Structure 1
Amino acid sequence: MTRILHVFSTFAVGGPQIRFAQLANALSGQYRHTIISLDGASQAMSRLATDVQAEFLPMPTLKAMSLPQRLHAIHRTLSHHQSDILMTYNWGAIEWAFCNRLLHLCRGIHWEDGFSPDEASQLYRRRNLFRRHALSGQTQVVVPSHTLMAIARQHWQIPAQRLHYFPNGIAMPEAISKGAPSALTTLITLASLRAEKNLHRLIDTFASQATHSRLLIGGDGPMLTELEAYIDSLNLTNSVRLVGRIDDVWGFLAQGDIFCLSSDTEQMPLSVLEAMAAALPVVATDVGDVKTIVAAENTPFVVPPAHYASAFRRILSEPRHWQAIGEANYQKACQHYSFQNMLENFTRLTAPIR
């Protein structure tokens, strides 16, 4: 059984954590997982099936330490656990990849899913340089988008033989049962309540463009209290609802007429794939690969942030096209973003080297 040590900056519920849980659940019995969350959050552990061999490893806070002290603590942990593979996720875990590369303790696989708000508009030169060093040697680098592939080649100088395009995939629902049609158009989103999701943009756009509609926001996160106060300040409590954590994704999406994405930064969001699988049209900011993910019929509604309100207004004015756009999204999700492909990619990536 392959032993994998996973290092996340957080193990709160988010895209990378959900993807990991789905893979671990589907491949139960083949891997033994140890999970480190650098901020101590562990909510995504609840997404793991009971038969998955996984342990959550508490870690002392490393931020207050100097870099040499942190690397020493990382070295001690890596040496103690003697895993077959170290999987690190995004910038928050890059020092673990760096330490493992220096000491050659085990195989290293680094996942980059996108950027935090401070890198959403520009890449930092010092981070690019550190990534080049940390991800050199034999470290394999995995990205879910063509946008990140280009960045990894150009800015991080990852050679083709160590760079893997690993698109997200989803298990398609057997059927989604829509309720009775509502007099109100229902706009819906699934997102971690974090700054880079820019849910203020979505709420503002809804308030200005979507009269006689309602907005359902699924997900939880650190901005919950702030968003509750913001919705209250705009007197939108009757039309905008923060639903909280969503366990039944398909049941939640079945309530929607249009899926909304308002993020400042994304690469290949699972939420958009899920919306496509639910046969919903999508109005979204043009970030990462979103415009290439959706069906051609949907691309006019994936726009730069400055044009988000106009795209919102335009899609709301064309209800006769929603079903056709949603069906085209469903067909593309079936053809290109299967969960089976994602499983095969993961199995190939972690196979023993002969």
Structure 2
Amino acid sequence: MNCLRSGGAEKQLLWIASEIVSLGIPCSILELAAGERTERIEAMVRVALEKGVLVLRAPPHSGNWQGLGRLRRHLSDTRPDLIWSWGLRADGICYLGRLLNAPTKWIMSIRSANTQLGNFGSWIRKQLARRCDGVISNTHAGLVMSEIQYIPTLRQWVLPNAVALDSSTQVDLPDLPPQRLVLVMLGNIKIMTKGYDLAAQLAQILLGKAFLFELRIAGRPDELAELETIFHRLNVQSVVKFYGEVSHPEEFLREGHLFLLLSRFEGMPNTLLEALSVGLPAIATDVGDLRVLKDKGAPFDLVPIENVKAATEAVERALAQWSNTRVAAAKGRGWVQANFSEEACRAVLREILAEVLEA
């Protein structure tokens, strides 16, 4: 793994490692780069350690060559049956290991972030994929956008994100339309990727219509200064509140009335699944596999990417048709449980491991 710091990939990796150990298969995570972990990730690391996962944290200022050396030493010491790389740096290190005749089987993960690499990055990814024994994505769209599905000899699997369901975090939506609608967005502050600039435009339109609302945002503040500049330029800062990086996102979500996902790039957004799982109505852009999920009955409102007008109308419609909004929200938890529960994802993981290890 490149770095266990924060994000959906890190959460999924830790869950998978814990599940592998629960099957009686020893599992270790080798971190290539050092980084400060969020409280939530740190808690998941502790759980993984308690279950028997070996987590090898990267020393400060560790680089690619140091990572390759650490990987080779670890392979020599443990002789694992399988290496599973997460992140482009990790893929590259494993590729170099293959050039050095490491005999261990190697599979790669393709995440939503991998689809934004550009032409050169995608070319690199395909060269790496030709050397490995298979790729796993959390979405069908991830395989399509990375063009890896065009390598006919490469084995490919889709392993959905697992969502932990906690009955204590259910949203208690009001029976009547709220006087002031609380919109919530959750995700690291990557303005173009996550569409926070679009959220600012949406807020400006709603303010112009004298719509009573508040926009609450939580996430790692990577580009917060730039985002605050956008909010001030559009004069919407009075209705926006930033909560920083939250350790318990379900508690943050529970305080909202309507979840917004305005991303330009996503594969399978964990935040949307988490919002639905706590019973929060949601509006999302047509990214990744969300169109497929919508066609299969997912209870959220889907709008075109970068279409602020459509997103604004969806917000207004959610409030105007509040009884319908509450009905859709009530279906969210059951839908997530049927499609993305830990039990459902665990079965898929076991099938993949059996196929890879027995090949």
Q: TM-score interval w.r.t. the shorter chain?
A: 0.7 to 0.9
State the distance in 1 between where 2:339 and 2:124 align.
34
- 1:34-73 to structure 2, matched below 5 A, reads 34-38=29-33, 40-43=35-38, 44-50=41-47, 51-52=50-51, 53=53, 54-58=55-59, 60=61, 62=63, 73=66
Q: Does 1:97 find its partner at 2:94?
A: yes
1:212 is displaced (CA, Å) by 0.5
State the distance in 2 between where 1:343 and 1:75 align.
31
Q: Work out which of the residue numbers 315, 323, 328 in structure 1 matches 2:326.
A: 323
Q: Does 1:199 find its partner at 2:196?
A: yes
Asked if the contact 1:98/1:133 (under 8 Å) is kept, the reply is no
Larger helix fraction of residues: 2
Question: What's the CA shift string for 1:125-169, capped at 9, x where partnerless?
Answer: x43333233122452210111212334565651546x21111112
Asked if the contact 1:260/1:282 (under 8 Å) is kept, the reply is yes
**Farther-moved stretch of structure 1 (205-214 vs 37-46):** 37-46
Residue of structure 1 in register with 2:216 after alignment: 216
**Farther-moved stretch of structure 1 (188-197 vs 36-45):** 36-45
Asked if the contact 1:173/1:250 (under 8 Å) is kept, the reply is no
Letter in 2 for 1:200: D
Residue of structure 2 in register with 1:67 after alignment: none
- Local SS of the residue matching 2:338: helix
Q: 1:118 to 1:169 in 2, by over 3 A?
A: closer
**Farther-moved stretch of structure 1 (256-265 vs 322-331):** 322-331
- Local SS of the residue matching 1:353: helix
- 1:330-345 to structure 2, matched below 5 A, reads 330-345=333-348
**Farther-moved stretch of structure 1 (85-94 vs 193-202):** 85-94
State the distance in 1 between where 2:200 and 2:56 align.
38
Residue of structure 2 in register with 1:278 after alignment: 278
Q: Does 1:142 find its partner at 2:136?
A: yes
Asked if the contact 1:128/1:155 (under 8 Å) is kept, the reply is no
Q: Work out which of the residue numbers 9, 13, 17 in structure 1 matches 2:10.
A: 17
Question: What's the CA shift string for 1:79-120, capped at 9, x where partnerless?
Answer: 11115233222334331232233323422121111236854x
State the distance in 1 between where 2:323 and 2:331 align.
14
Asked if the contact 1:34/1:57 (under 8 Å) is kept, the reply is no
- Local SS of the residue matching 1:326: helix
- Structure 1 residue ranges without an equivalent (≥5): 1-6, 63-69
Q: 1:221 to 1:22 in 2, by over 3 A?
A: farther
State the distance in 2 between where 1:117 and 1:224 align.
24
Letter in 1 for 2:129: L
State the distance in 1 between where 2:228 and 2:152 align.
43
Asked if the contact 1:189/1:261 (under 8 Å) is kept, the reply is yes
* Normalised TM-score (structure 2): 0.80
Letter in 1 for 2:180: L
Residue of structure 2 in register with 1:129 after alignment: 123
1:213 is displaced (CA, Å) by 0.5
Q: 1:177 to 1:238 in 2, by over 3 A?
A: farther
- 1:175-324 to structure 2, matched below 5 A, reads 175-178=168-171, 181=174, 182-195=178-191, 196-209=193-206, 211-294=211-294, 296=297, 298=299, 301-317=301-317, 318-324=321-327
- Local SS of the residue matching 1:109: strand
State the distance in 2 between where 1:203 and 1:137 align.
44
State the distance in 2 between where 1:59 and 1:134 align.
27
Letter in 2 for 1:114: S
Q: 1:118 to 1:289 in 2, by over 3 A?
A: closer
Q: Work out which of the residue numbers 350, 354, 357 in structure 2 matches 1:353.
A: 357
State the distance in 2 between where 1:24 and 1:154 align.
25
1:75 is displaced (CA, Å) by 4.0
- Structure 2 residue ranges without an equivalent (≥5): none
RMSD (CA atoms): 3.0
**Farther-moved stretch of structure 1 (318-327 vs 257-266):** 318-327
* Normalised TM-score (structure 1): 0.81
Asked if the contact 2:112/2:265 (under 8 Å) is kept, the reply is yes
1:340 is displaced (CA, Å) by 1.6
How many residues were matched structurally? Answer: 333
